[in-house]
Amino acid sequence: MKPRALVTGASRGIGAAVAQALAAAGHPVIVNFVRDHEAASRVKSRIEAAGGAATLARFDVSSAEESERAIKALLEDPSPIGVLVNNAGVVDDAPFPALGRAAWESVTRTTIDGFYNVTQPLVMPMVRARWGRIVNVSSVSGVVGSRGQVNYSAAKAGLIGATRSLAQELAKRNVTVNAIAPGFIDTDMVKGAHVDELLRLVPMRRFGTATEVASLVAYLVSDAAAYITGQVIGINGGIA
């Protein structure tokens, strides 16, 4: 049996699609969520209906205490967690002069603190097993920046730095660490946005799908990607 895969923020959008793709590849999936138990349960049901295995894990990745308790409980299961997808993230946009401290902290804590809180306790089990896959979901905003998203861009850029550094630490242990940088993906995060304005920024003139992003994650987790580590892979329809 393949190792378990923990996907944070997996109740909807990219996270839900990733959870389903990894389950289809044979990984028992741990579906992390914070508030929407009903949505997370639907993801679990879809995975099971397709013949996969899934469990739910409710905890807030931005909370050190919640993450520690939850991961400690998950590690009591003898089946190893060999795959981690750090997908949880929030947006709270505003021009920088109007960006309040609460908006800064909620976005950066979910992405950067969340990365630390979840990844740090799982690294040594992967090292001891001499196998692991960590995929961090960054953003095109973390690569090129985005007006009105200083907090989000800073958080996602920080995730890229963490990816590159951790990859160097773990490479000789056969643990790969990569980041993906999606552009505009057709999820709840872009609903209500100025669609025509956004599409003009995309050479392909369409939004990506969560399934397309999930396919990239599934590839990076697979044995076919065993020699890929420390990379940031864009999936953005041609945005330079």
Q: Residue 175: beta bridge partners?
A: 132
Q: Residue 179: beta bridge partners?
A: 136, 232
CA-wise closest residue to 216 among 237, 232, 229, 235 = 235
* CA pair distance 135, 176, nearest whole angstrom: 8
Q: What type of residue sits at position 14?
A: I
Tell me whether residue 227 is one of the annotated catalytic residues: no
* CA pair distance 207, 63, nearest whole angstrom: 32
* CA pair distance 122, 21, nearest whole angstrom: 21
Q: What type of residue sits at position 140?
A: V
Asked if 184 and 13 touch (Cβ cutoff 8 Å), the reply is: no
Among all chains, which residue has been given the structure tokens 């590839």?
A: 219
Q: Residue 105: beta bridge partners?
A: none
Q: Which two tokens stand for residue 160?
A: 């890229």
Asked if 57 and 29 touch (Cβ cutoff 8 Å), the reply is: no
Candidate list 116, 152, 219, 227, residue with the active-site label: 152
* Catalytic residue list: 152
